[in-house]
A and B are shown apart, each in its own frame.
Chain A
Amino acid sequence: MASIDPRTCREMEELLSAYALDALDPGEAARVEAHLYSGGGCPRCRRSLAEERRVAALLGEAVSQGMPPDSLQGRLMAALGSMPREAPTAPIDTPLLRAADGGMPSARGSSREVSRRRRIRLSRLVLPLAAALAVVLLAISLGINLLTVQRLDRLERESAGLSSQLIRYNSDESYLSEGLRQIRLASYLIASPDHETMTLEAVGGAEGSQGLLLVSSDGRRAILMVAGMTQQPDTADYRVWFMRPGQRVNAGEVMVDASGWGIIILYPSESVFGFDWVGLTSEETTSVPASASDMVLRGRITSQKSLK
């Protein structure tokens, strides 16, 4: 193991408190992690970090305690299923796991054009996963879902080998990680046997575009996937609305890549099944849309269970 420069340790110790709080900026966090773990890392600073984490963990236990619903344990054990594990290549508390799971905050201040080019580049990586997800949707099979989770896990480990590039590519990594995280969450929902599936169809001139809305049985979680959308000239965002007579609720924004594909996880403040329609407008429609003609995609919200 290479000797550790004491000056580096002093510099790192200044950062360990914020690191334990997950409050470092991505570049600094990557430097700390390289010092802690690369090539055997620095045992002295790891001990200091353990102390900082002990304090941070106590903060985490200062919140009022509430039990999760009983059903959560059942869902967890069902998700484990026969999921095999492979030996991990990086400690669970290293940044690489966090990065691969959506942990690195996005770089700020980059231009939309640069961001768009990154999306196009990254879409080459995300799209194959989306294609895999589409197969899962058709099959609605727990077995296929587990394979997807395993594949994502393998990607996490592969990304662990790229630590030295993380500093330069934080923004790109963040986007990719977010895509992986969304697909993973989608796979959990798809694995749930009682989710509902609804389709969105093009309105007006938006021919060739389509959408799919998956909703959990309680209506409190939903995943919207769109394809064949037109990328906006100045923005890649579309706004999602839930609608019922006299009311339209803004549910979030979905970013569309160069291929016209996009996904968003929705956590509506009330059940989706309390609404009649779901629709998309272009991002320019920032307030409540004036009429249904603003919509580029629209779908009826129905529950198969209620139809039976």
Chain B
Amino acid sequence: MVEYQELEDYQLISRIASGEKAALEVLYARYATSVYSLAMFMLKQEALAEEVTQDIFLNIWLKASSYKADRGEARAWLMSITHHKTVDAIRSRRRTLAMTERIAPESLELIPSRQTPTDEQAERNLERERILKALATLPSAQREVIMLGYFEGYTQSEIAEKLQQPLGTIKTRVRLAMQKLRVALDHHGLD
């Protein structure tokens, strides 16, 4: 009898690739909140965030065998897929309707959590605080390109046009911001 709860993420993904739905259920239980929260934060619409979340896990079910453990942690892989899909949805929607509001860096802290605090949630909140502190160490111009690029789904060219800055300047800001974030996060003991 397989104790799926005991399995590491990469082992779950391997079992999903073998067609074991119970493994997908456990992976869903572990990550549905992270996936949905990012989609919801970026899309600002519950129904759309639900669609995207469902689409992401369906894709994991269909494509789990393509996961290569040597290409990075499962968690980063899954969040990367989440971000791809959410950006897809944003760009698709942007083609038909204008986005109504910008996401400010402060909004990362202002949106209240709907979850009842648990030990695991408390741990996540601590981790989140560390990430926010790392983000706060960035100069405002670098933080701005991260907000526009990562959380609002703009490409570097679109950011350059939006901020009326040369494309090269935006590329440099993105690169420096990511370097500084990595240093700041590692300094705070996240790896």
**A, B in one complex:** yes
Docked-complex contact B131 and A178, CB < 8 angstroms: no
Chain B residues within an 8 Å CB radius of A252: 96-97
Docked-complex contact B156 and A61, CB < 8 angstroms: no
Closest to B145 in A: A23
The yes or no answer to B8 lying at the interface (CB within 8 A) is: no
One digit per residue, 1 when the CB lies within 8 angstroms of any chain A CB and 0 when it does not, for chain B 75-103 equals 11101111111011101100111000000
The yes or no answer to A264 lying at the interface (CB within 8 A) is: yes
One digit per residue, 1 when the CB lies within 8 angstroms of any chain A CB and 0 when it does not, for chain B 133-168 equals 001000000000010011101111101000000000
Docked-complex contact A25 and B156, CB < 8 angstroms: yes
Docked-complex contact B79 and A85, CB < 8 angstroms: no
Q: Measured between alpha carbons, how far is A133 from B179 in the docked complex, in Å?
A: 47
Q: Measured between alpha carbons, how far is A22 from B32 in the docked complex, in Å?
A: 21
Task: Kindly name the residue among A24, A56, A79, A181 whose own CB sees the greatest number of chain B CB atoms within 10 A.
Answer: A56
Closest to B17 in A: A85
- B24-44: which have CB < 8 Å to A? 24-25, 28, 32-34, 36-38, 40-41
Docked-complex contact B37 and A57, CB < 8 angstroms: no
Docked-complex contact A92 and B63, CB < 8 angstroms: yes
At the interface with chain B, which of A65-73, A117-125, A204-212, A295-303?
A65-73
Docked-complex contact A53 and B77, CB < 8 angstroms: yes
Q: How many whole Å from B157's CB to the nearest CB in chain A?
A: 5
Counting chain A residues whose Cβ lies within 8 A of the other chain, the interface size class is 35 or more
Chain A residues within an 8 Å CB radius of B146: 21, 59
Q: Measured between alpha carbons, how far is A62 from B188 in the docked complex, in Å?
A: 14
- Our pick among A18, A56, A62, A106 for the contact of B135 (Cβ within 8 Å) is A62
Docked-complex contact B41 and A97, CB < 8 angstroms: no
Docked-complex contact B76 and A73, CB < 8 angstroms: no
The yes or no answer to A4 lying at the interface (CB within 8 A) is: no
The yes or no answer to A131 lying at the interface (CB within 8 A) is: no
- Our pick among A60, A76, A87, A97 for the contact of B54 (Cβ within 8 Å) is A76
Chain A residues within an 8 Å CB radius of B33: 65-68
Q: How many whole Å from B31's CB to the nearest CB in chain A?
A: 10
Query: Known contacts A20-B80, A73-B28, A153-B62: does B51 contact A62 (CB below 8 Å)?
Result: no
Closest to A51 in B: B182
Q: Measured between alpha carbons, how far is A126 from B115 in the docked complex, in Å?
A: 42
Chain A residues within an 8 Å CB radius of B38: 60-61, 63
Chain B residues within an 8 Å CB radius of A87: 65
Docked-complex contact A188 and B51, CB < 8 angstroms: yes
Q: How many whole Å from B28's CB to the nearest CB in chain A?
A: 6
Q: Measured between alpha carbons, how far is A264 from B93 in the docked complex, in Å?
A: 10
Chain A residues within an 8 Å CB radius of B177: 17
- Our pick among B51, B91, B108, B153 for the contact of A63 (Cβ within 8 Å) is B108
The yes or no answer to A14 lying at the interface (CB within 8 A) is: yes
Chain B residues within an 8 Å CB radius of A178: 92, 95
Query: Known contacts A24-B155, A80-B61: does B37 contact A54 (CB below 8 Å)?
Result: no
Query: Residues on A close to B: CB < 8 A?
Result: 14, 17-18, 20-25, 46, 49-69, 72-73, 75-77, 79-80, 83, 85, 87-88, 90-93, 97-98, 101-103, 105-106, 108, 149, 153, 178, 181, 184-185, 188, 216, 218, 220-221, 252-253, 264, 267
Query: What are 25 A-B pairs with beta-carbon distances under 8 A?
Result: A14-B171, A18-B149, A21-B150, A60-B83, A61-B128, A63-B37, A66-B113, A67-B33, A67-B36, A67-B115, A68-B32, A68-B36, A72-B50, A80-B21, A80-B61, A83-B61, A88-B66, A91-B68, A92-B81, A181-B88, A188-B54, A218-B47, A252-B96, A267-B45, A267-B48
